[in-house]
Amino acid sequence: MMRFVLILIAVLALAGFALSQVPLGFALSRLPLNAMGVQWTQSEGTVWDGRVMGVYFRNQPVGDVDVALAPMSLLSFKPALDVQWGGAGGRGAATLVLAGESTYRAEDVRLEQKVSALESLSPDLRAIRGTFRLSGGSARIDDFRCTSASGEIRSDTLSLAARQFGRSFSDLTGTLACEDGAFRFVMQGAGPDGDTVSVNGRAHLQGEAEISVEADTSDSDIETLLANAGFAREDGRWSYERSSSQTAGAGAP
């Protein structure tokens, strides 16, 4: 038994050494990242410890991404990479796991992104500023389809916008999930006088994305803010819609 354990340790050590010599650029070229809309300008180092520079997801700049192989993941024969990124108004971290030939998992995802740096939003919405956050995130991708996802999302954009008019409003809060192969998020916020705002968004890895926002208010100052941000009023409610055909890329508010 001990001999078997020693042989197993030796094999794993050899595999770890071999992986440590694989150039990161070579490994990236073997993954379907371009099909998912991920592009980059250059890479350096190995899969054991490397960096990817000038990363974009669709038309959204991400910044530079540091990559490090998690050695203990070799024990389960499911290689995992600890990644951290920063730049372009955002930062985050996650663990990416190759769970099968066309199955990938993202675990312990944490990100923070400035709304003003989100290229997919209209200039009026970006001008409101604020920050979008995801905590405790996870996702599973099978054949380029989202099959499961979770996480808590929050943005202070709404409360910051209301503060400009001396009003109080809660942050937008919600959850991340999957629906028909796409990522879906739902966020809601409310004011003390019964005003409400709801946000619904969907995004496929192939690039199709859409977002809709509905607001219910009788406050004239808030209505002015909504009108200036590109909202339209219909049947007493204010709404804003945008799709990938309008944004030329996928993004999240």
Chain segment 219-243, per-residue pLDDT in tens? 887 788 788 878 899 888 899 888 8
pLDDT at site 210: 87
The set of residues, in sequence order, having a beta carbon less than 8 Å from that of 195 and lying 6+ positions away, is 169, 215, 216, 217, 218, 219, 222
Q: What is the pLDDT of residues 22-80, one digit of tens each?
A: 778 877 877 777 777 788 999 998 877 899 999 988 778 889 999 988 776 665 667 78
Q: Give per-residue pLDDT as tens, 164-179.
A: 778 888 999 999 999 9
Give the Cα separation of 193 and 57 in Å (integer).
39
